[in-house]
Amino acid sequence: MSNTAIKVQNLVKNFGKGDSLVRVIENASFEIQKGEIVALIAPSGAGKTTLLMMIGCVLEPTSGEIWLGEERVYGNKWVAKDTRKIRREKIGFIFQAHYLIPFLNIIENVTLLPQANGVSEKISKEKAMELLKYLEIDDKAYNMSSQLSGGQNQRVAIARALANNPQIILADEPTAALDGERSVSVIKMLKKIAREQNVAIITVTHDDRILPYCDKIMKIENRTIVFQDSDERII
């Protein structure tokens, strides 16, 4: 079994046509291994969210190829018949805002998707409690999101992203709403998940403080992907 979690080849993404054509990604090729946490940095509008959404099978590329694990999901068209199934089974998303549902308590937020996917209430709750413990937020399981701090809510959002045992986590500025200390604690948590659960994580960030915790730094430069070695890595 290969250790590659994400493989992208000659990926191109344009929006629009003719005079309104916007070229976002021109010819991107890269691989990310299982157990790796990679920071994605680039100026606003460079295409970070666009890239994550293509890898996450949410947004259709213009051309190129994408493999998730052993499965080629895109090859100049969607190869995967059911992209929703791929998302549900392989990918966990974390966004800048936590998007927890305000009228459900924490454990209900974490069990919502697994239950919608047919996991029983009992099993999904056991798994959710395990995740909340892992993220050190289990004491809030029966609180509402509004009773939690920003950092606590973001840890719940991470628990929710992990609820379907994803092989890949795509995080779009997960620490943007947090102060420095809480950002570092969230990124340490993501790193622990990458290492212990062999998950590949791409996290978009504008926060230099979290870069030392990442294994690699990926940039979008001249509409393509380049890697920069993180010089001071914290293992």
The option from ligand ATP, Mg ion, none interacting with 20 (CB < 5 to 8 A, set by class) reads: none
- Which listed residue (24, 68, 186, 194) binds ligand ATP by CB under 6 A? 24
Instruction: Establish if 48 lies at the interface with ligand ATP (CB under 6 A).
Output: yes
- Which listed residue (5, 25, 40, 49) binds Mg ion by CB under 5 A? 49
Using Cβ positions, the residue closest to Mg ion within the complex turns out to be 49
- Which listed residue (1, 18, 19, 44) binds ligand ATP by CB under 6 A? 44
Nearer to ligand ATP, 45 or 181 (CB): 45
* Cβ 176 to ligand ATP shortest distance, Å: 9
Nearer to ligand ATP, 67 or 95 (CB): 95
Nearer to Mg ion, 48 or 90 (CB): 48
* Residue 1 buriedness (CB in 10 A; 0-12 / 13-18 / 19+): exposed
Contact residues: Mg ion, CB under 5 A: 48-49
Contact residues: ligand ATP, CB under 6 A: 15-16, 22, 24, 42, 44-50
